[in-house]
């Protein structure tokens, strides 16, 4: 508790205590929460997606990735450094490892192992296969699982993953270079899909094939030549179910989506949203998923889906950003989200109070026009374990993309 208070007091005294200015020089509201940049050049730093543990259980250490270039696709030989920032030691960067399996949007699935106080994991490559590294920061012991991971169970014992080779083939920016997709010419392969892997033994099992899901139910706007794949997997808070996106790409490069849930072994499949427009999602609890969709009631908006039912409820229509990367703070009273760049290229991380329907801005962060497409820099806000701090990715002038810490304790406290 003492460490947490010291960290937040130092944050309030940071170089940007209450006023945040965009790169264009526009002064933001003086009521914005304090923010400080916790990484620095010449290297660029980021974390990636919003549905992983970036903060350790004590909220002292913040994971991140480090790289020496921007504004191009990663090559198979491009190596990033894995590390963490010590918030109680002048934001000292601590190197922990390396990876050659990464992308700009989701990094290498770096995260604290759920249920552990000292272990982290990330994806890497060994010759012609992707693997997962698990490192214990206390004992320095490192293990390798012969399978990359995506989402990890709450007890840290199992994980699920899509075929990163196929994702890189159909959606560069989310898969990893370096290993060819053996099913590249197959529109719906039987041997590619979602696998479940034991993080204790390394045992791997294909639980859902792309071919199986391509045959399941109705495919909106189906036509010859569409290429199927899976992306964005997430186990529920109790590990009893998982959700994934079934996507298909048309010959012109466009794509549509269905959101589907299943048991951890791939059984009891349920098509939760089949209109083709599902996007960013998060579990609120073991039975509900907040996701972006296009529904008759409010068109493009955030909706709360009750698993294995047809119950759908709009959340914050007209207030909560309809395209943001959403997650719940502990207790589910607040939703943390963001926005894509506006007409001035500013991105707006924000909080939404579910009961009062209030939206509170956390700042306007400028993203220059060269941050676009595959190597754009979404803020992807992630909260600390106690819900008092938020970390985002955002460019900072000539320093490029860096990690920024926002103190929201006085808002949610």
pLDDT category of residue 27 using cuts at 50, 70 and 90: very low
Q: How do strand 242-249 and strand 227-235 relate by DSSP bridges?
A: antiparallel
pTM metric for this prediction: 0.93
Among 392, 404, 368, 400, CA closest to 42: 400
Residue-level pLDDT at 14? 43
- Window from 27-31, 100-104, 300-304, 333-337 with minimum mean pLDDT: 27-31
Structure confidence by residue, pLDDT tens digits, 228-285: 999 999 999 999 999 999 999 999 999 999 999 999 999 999 999 999 999 999 999 9
Q: What is the pLDDT of residue 8?
A: 46
Q: Which of 337, 232, 240, 324 is nearest to 287 (CA)?
A: 240
Band (297; pLDDT cuts 50, 70, 90): very high
Cβ atoms of 166 and 183 within 8 Å: the answer is yes
Instruction: Identify the burial level of 377 via C-beta atoms within 10 angstroms of its C-beta, where 0-12 means exposed, 13-18 middle and 19 or more buried.
Output: buried
Q: Is the pLDDT of residue 215 over 80?
A: yes
Share of the chain above pLDDT 90, in %: 92
Each residue's pLDDT tens digit, 169-181: 999 899 999 999 9
Over the stretch 60-99, which tens digit does the pLDDT of each residue have? Answer: 999 999 999 999 999 999 999 999 999 999 999 999 999 9
Instruction: Give the pLDDT confidence score for residue 225 in this predicted structure.
Output: 96
With a CB cutoff of 8 Å and minimum separation 6, the contacts of 139 are 118
Q: What value does the CA radius of gyration of the chain take, rounded to a whole number of Å?
A: 20
> Residue 331: its pLDDT value, please?
98
pLDDT at 30: 52
In the predicted model, is pLDDT for residue 19 greater than 70?
no
- Segment 205-231 shows an average pLDDT of 97
What single string gives the DSSP state of each residue in 5-69?
A: HHHHHHHHTSSBSS--B-TT--B--TTSPPEEE---SSSEEE---SSS--B-TTS-EEEEEEES-
65 and 108 in contact (C-beta within 8 Å)? yes
| Mean pLDDT for the chain overall | 93
């Amino acid at each position: 508790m003492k460490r947490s208070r010291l960290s937040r007091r130092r944050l309030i005294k940071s170089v940007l205590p209450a006023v945040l200015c965009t790169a264009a020089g526009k002064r933001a509201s003086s009521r914005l929460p304090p923010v400080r940049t916790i990484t620095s050049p010449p290297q660029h730093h980021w974390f990636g997606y919003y549905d992983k543990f970036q903060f350790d259980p004590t909220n002292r250490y913040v994971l991140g990735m480090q790289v020496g270039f921007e504004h191009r696709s990663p090559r198979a030989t491009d190596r990033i450094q894995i590390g963490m920032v010590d918030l109680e030691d002048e934001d000292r960067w601590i190197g922990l490892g390396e990876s050659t399996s990464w992308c700009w949007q989701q990094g290498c699935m770096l995260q604290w192992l759920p249920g552990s106080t000292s272990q982290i994991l990330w994806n890497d490559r060994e010759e012609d296969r992707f693997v997962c590294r698990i490192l214990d920061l206390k004992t320095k012991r490192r293990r390798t699982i012969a399978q990359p991971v995506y989402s990890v169970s709450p007890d840290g014992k199992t994980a699920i993953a899509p075929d990163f080779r196929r994702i890189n083939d159909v959606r560069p920016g989310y898969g990893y270079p370096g290993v060819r997709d053996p099913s590249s010419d197959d529109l719906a392969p039987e041997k590619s899909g979602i696998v479940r892997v034991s993080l204790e033994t390394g045992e791997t099992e294909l639980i859902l094939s792309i071919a199986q899901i391509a045959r399941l139910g109705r495919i909106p706007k189906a036509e010859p030549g569409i290429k199927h794949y899976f992306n964005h997997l997430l186990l529920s808070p109790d590990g009893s179910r998982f959700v994934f996106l079934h996507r298909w790409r048309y010959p012109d490069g466009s794509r549509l989506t269905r959101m589907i849930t299943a048991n951890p072994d791939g059984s009891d499949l349920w098509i939760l949203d089949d209109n083709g427009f599902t996007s960013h999602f998060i579990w609120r609890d073991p039975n509900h998923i907040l996701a972006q969709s296009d529904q008759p009631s409010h068109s493009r908006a955030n909706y709360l889906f009750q698993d294995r039912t047809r119950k759908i409820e709009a959340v914050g229509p007209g207030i909560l950003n309809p395209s943001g990367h959403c997650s719940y703070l502990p207790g589910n009273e607040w939703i943390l989200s963001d926005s894509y760049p506006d007409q001035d290229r500013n991105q707006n991380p924000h909080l939404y109070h579910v009961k009062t329907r209030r939206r509170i801005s956390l700042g306007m962060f400028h993203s220059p026009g060269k941050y676009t497409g595959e190597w754009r820099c979404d803020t992807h806000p992630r909260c600390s374990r106690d819900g008092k701090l938020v970390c985002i990715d955002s460019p900072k002038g000539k320093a490029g993309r860096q990690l920024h810490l926002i103190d929201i304790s006085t808002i949610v406290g």
